[in-house]
Chains A and B, each alone.
Chain A
Amino acid sequence: MGSLTDMTPDTAFTYELGWIPVSPRLAVARRLSLALVYLIVIAVVVALVLIPGVPTWVPAVVGAIAVVIFIWLWWLIGRRVRSFGYAERGDDLLVTSGILFRRLVIVPYGRMQLVDVQAGPIDRWLGVTTVQLHTAAATTDASIPGLVPDVAVELRDRLARRGEERSTGL
């Protein structure tokens, strides 16, 4: 058994054929957000350098740790984005994601109560959109981030139509 991250994807989660990956631009968007957060970290390090009385090794250590974490997160974002996938079957939608904590959600079209399409400012600028499905269960947690806007809107309409056709009560 190798290290966790070296393992091949577990077939229990992925043996369904026809997984559609999400756009690699999602990784760009998330890395950009990460970089923005790191502006604050850089400001803290600079402040530590400038404040008199702080020993010089303090900003050095803080900076080094921050750089290591940055590189790790940068790499992790790539892996996380590649782990997202969805598949449309005749009666339900499957969404999978996660590296350390893997999940697979199967949502019957007839159970969908609403389908959200949302995008933050950075996402909009880069052209990635999140489609989120809601059922009457709060735990359903079926969101597909990183879709190209056209694909997202098409997917939403398709899901909404199928939901309408198969809708049942609770």
Chain B
Amino acid sequence: MSNAQQPSPIGDDLGLGLTLPGESPSDALGRRHVHPITPIVHGVSVVPVIVLLVVASGGGVLASFGWGIVPITVLAVVVVGLAVTGWSYLAWRNLWYWFDDDGDFRVDSGVLTRKQRRLQLSRLQAVDVAQPLFARLFSMAEVSIEVAGSGDSRVKLRYLKLAQARSLRNEVLARAAGLAGDVEEAPESALVTVPTRDLAVSLVMRTATAGLLLLTVAIFVFTVLSEGWGGLPLVLITGGVPILVVASEFMRYFRFTVSQSPDGLRLRFGLARTETRTVPPGRVQAIEFVEPLLWRRWNWVRVRINIAGVGGESNGNKKEETLLIPVAPLPVAISLVHRLMPGLDLDALDWHPAPERSRRRAFIQWRRLAVAWDDSVLATRSGRFTRRLAVIPHVRTQSVRVTQGPWERMLDLATMHADSTPGPVSVKALHLDAHYAREVADEQVARARQARGSDTTTHWAKPQDHPDI
């Protein structure tokens, strides 16, 4: 793991040098539009979709047009592009954003249905600056702002000039942290960059991926080489799926960099689409260390985090795996986690293992199953091949559950869950003795209550002698 040498500004401008004139206009009340180029960016981004559609259906109906397909494609691109641009222009004209007098962030939008949204910055979860491919051509960026809450709690503003996107992000973060709006961009220093080779190796060496690839080789050897090409479709599936998964994660987490800034940890990653995510320390709901079997020789772990409002089902249909780092040696990962949860000491935890009879419920992982807690966090352990260790601060515990399936019931076992906000991490102590599970649950409720009483992390940049809430 090499430390990145020079601190660089957030969201490297990977544009092609095309910068556009024009500013995001504002009106007398201080309300602002996004950049006027937005409708054109939207229009242009339709082009590859149409071309792909035409190419994909080229073998069928459209082939009968012969060379006529070219003017048809051009016509389709122009018509659809103009339609999208026109609609997007109307949307642009009706989109306003500003900070109101109460310190909330306001967005009015909508062409046919008007929508007025008010984001309480005191509940801010994250502000991201991302550069999708087409926005990058024009050195533009989108800003997405997440506040805590169920349902649609994310606002996306696109597109702004990169510099403006950064300054908006800084303003939002500064106001959320309880500072005045007009502060300088927080200086940041790079902590860790995941080397490209490590990322690639780690993705291939994940248990399921490596297993599928091995299986593919086996099938290839035993069917294709000995029986002819009959086994090829199977090989394409068992080999193709992991390759697609590895490729997409590689593109996504390419050059994953973690930096420290006064706003919190800042994550930057992506090959085709670069993303910037700021994780304020007070907003982390739960974390999990994941250690696949084949990573152990390098002592690597992946760290997943739950951030309220990010990575849940509420953000579209795809569940996002929010990461603190895709792969890092354990000491590095722990030092990063310490910046989010100061005082976390995993070595000092006193583990209470699941009883021996749990082997009849969880044949493989039962030896690893355990729960532990200290004054500030609850931790659970599971997994024999892929080891998992999940940690939730008491103050972030939403509710506590005890569940028991029929099999567990026959063995007088039960599982204790400490519920966190939606995200990749779920904290559960599997297959404890039933009465012990209930005991731990009751104690956890008490610990959570006590921790909530003394929580000062919500406005974490404010002086601590003014507890809000």
Q: Is A48 an interface residue (CB 8 A)?
A: no
A113, B399: Cα distance in complex, Å? 12
Which residues of chain A are within 8 angstroms of B352 by Cβ–Cβ distance? none
Q: Is the CB of A140 within 8 A of B419?
A: yes
Q: Is the CB of B399 within 8 A of A111?
A: yes
List which A111-151 residues lie within 8 A (CB) of chain B.
Answer: 111, 113-114, 134-142
Q: Is the CB of B438 within 8 A of A12?
A: yes
Give the interface segment out of B104-112, B190-198, B328-336, B441-449: B441-449
Q: Is the CB of A136 within 8 A of B421?
A: yes
Q: Is the CB of A108 within 8 A of B448?
A: yes
Q: Is B139 an interface residue (CB 8 A)?
A: no
By secondary structure, the B interface counts as mixed
Q: Is A40 an interface residue (CB 8 A)?
A: no
Which residues of chain B are within 8 angstroms of A107 by Cβ–Cβ distance? 399
Q: Is B13 an interface residue (CB 8 A)?
A: no
Output the least CB separation between A165 and chain B (Å).
12
Q: Is A56 an interface residue (CB 8 A)?
A: no
Residue of B with least CB distance to A134: B150
**Which of A12, A135, A138 touches B402 (beta carbons < 8 Å)?**
A12
Output the least CB separation between A55 and chain B (Å).
38
- Contact of A106 with B308 at beta-carbon distance under 8 Å, contacts A100-B406, A168-B469 already known: no
Q: Is B462 an interface residue (CB 8 A)?
A: no
Listed residue (A15, A101, A138, A169) with the most chain B CB atoms within 10 angstroms of its CB: A169
**Which of A15, A134, A168 touches B452 (beta carbons < 8 Å)?**
A168
Q: Is the CB of B449 within 8 A of A139?
A: no
A114, B402: Cα distance in complex, Å? 22
A113, B421: Cα distance in complex, Å? 12
List which A86-124 residues lie within 8 A (CB) of chain B.
Answer: 91-92, 100-108, 110-111, 113-114
Which residues of chain A are within 8 angstroms of B458 by Cβ–Cβ distance? 169-170
Residues of B within 8 A of A (CB): 122-123, 148-150, 283, 285, 308, 312-313, 396, 398-406, 409-410, 414, 417, 419-422, 426, 434-435, 437-438, 441-442, 445, 448-449, 452, 455, 458, 469
What 6 A-B pairs are tightest by C-beta distance, nearest first? A137-B419, A137-B398, A12-B434, A169-B458, A135-B398, A12-B438
Which residues of chain A are within 8 angstroms of B426 by Cβ–Cβ distance? 139
Q: Is the CB of A135 within 8 A of B419?
A: yes
A106, B438: Cα distance in complex, Å? 10
Residue of A with least CB distance to B414: A12
Q: Is the CB of A170 within 8 A of B312?
A: no
Residue of A with least CB distance to B312: A138
Q: Is the CB of B403 within 8 A of A102?
A: yes
**Which of B123, B398, B403, B414 touches A140 (beta carbons < 8 Å)?**
B398
Q: Is the CB of B123 within 8 A of A138?
A: no
A111, B150: Cα distance in complex, Å? 13
Q: Is the CB of A108 within 8 A of B313?
A: no
Give the interface segment out of A3-11, A18-26, A59-67, A77-85: A3-11
A169, B405: Cα distance in complex, Å? 33
Which residues of chain B are within 8 angstroms of A71 by Cβ–Cβ distance? none
Q: Is A13 an interface residue (CB 8 A)?
A: yes
Q: Is the CB of B438 within 8 A of A15?
A: yes
Residue of B with least CB distance to A90: B449
A111, B285: Cα distance in complex, Å? 14
**Which of A7, A103, A136 touches B150 (beta carbons < 8 Å)?**
A136
Which residues of chain B are within 8 angstroms of A1 by Cβ–Cβ distance? 410
Residue of B with least CB distance to A14: B438
Output the least CB separation between A120 and chain B (Å).
22
Q: Is the CB of B437 within 8 A of A12?
A: yes
Q: Is the CB of B403 within 8 A of A113?
A: no
Q: Is the CB of B469 within 8 A of A106?
A: no
Q: Is the CB of A106 within 8 A of B400?
A: yes
Output the least CB separation between B376 and chain A (Å).
16
Q: Is the CB of B401 within 8 A of A105?
A: yes
Q: Is the CB of A105 within 8 A of B449?
A: no
Output the least CB separation between B210 and chain A (Å).
30
Output the least CB separation between B119 and chain A (Å).
15
Q: Is the CB of A135 within 8 A of B401?
A: no
Q: Is the CB of B399 within 8 A of A135?
A: yes
A141, B438: Cα distance in complex, Å? 17
Output the least CB separation between B205 and chain A (Å).
31
**Which of B148, B308, B434 touches A10 (beta carbons < 8 Å)?**
B434
Q: List 11 A-B contacts (CB under 8 A).
A: A10-B409, A12-B437, A15-B438, A102-B403, A104-B401, A106-B400, A108-B445, A136-B308, A136-B421, A170-B283, A170-B396
A128, B404: Cα distance in complex, Å? 27
Output the least CB separation between B288 and chain A (Å).
15
Q: Is the CB of A100 within 8 A of B441?
A: no
Output the least CB separation between B399 and chain A (Å).
4
Q: Is the CB of B398 within 8 A of A104?
A: no
Listed residue (B123, B401, B437) with the most chain A CB atoms within 10 angstroms of its CB: B401
Which residues of chain B are within 8 angstroms of A135 by Cβ–Cβ distance? 398-399, 419
Q: Is the CB of B404 within 8 A of A10?
A: yes
A121, B248: Cα distance in complex, Å? 47
Q: Is the CB of A137 within 8 A of B399?
A: yes
- Contact of A137 with B421 at beta-carbon distance under 8 Å, contacts A12-B414, A110-B452, A170-B123 already known: yes
A82, B308: Cα distance in complex, Å? 36
- Contact of A92 with B445 at beta-carbon distance under 8 Å, contacts A4-B406, A10-B434, A169-B123 already known: yes
List which A154-170 residues lie within 8 A (CB) of chain B.
Answer: 167-170
A111, B401: Cα distance in complex, Å? 14
A46, B337: Cα distance in complex, Å? 65
Which residues of chain B are within 8 angstroms of A102 by Cβ–Cβ distance? 403-404, 409, 414
Which residues of chain A are within 8 angstroms of B123 by Cβ–Cβ distance? 169-170
Q: Is the CB of A106 within 8 A of B421?
A: no
* Given A136-B421, A139-B417, A140-B419, 17 other A-B residues pairs in contact with their CB atoms under 8 A: A10-B404, A11-B435, A100-B405, A101-B403, A103-B402, A104-B403, A107-B399, A110-B449, A136-B308, A138-B422, A140-B401, A168-B452, A168-B455, A169-B455, A169-B469, A170-B283, A170-B396
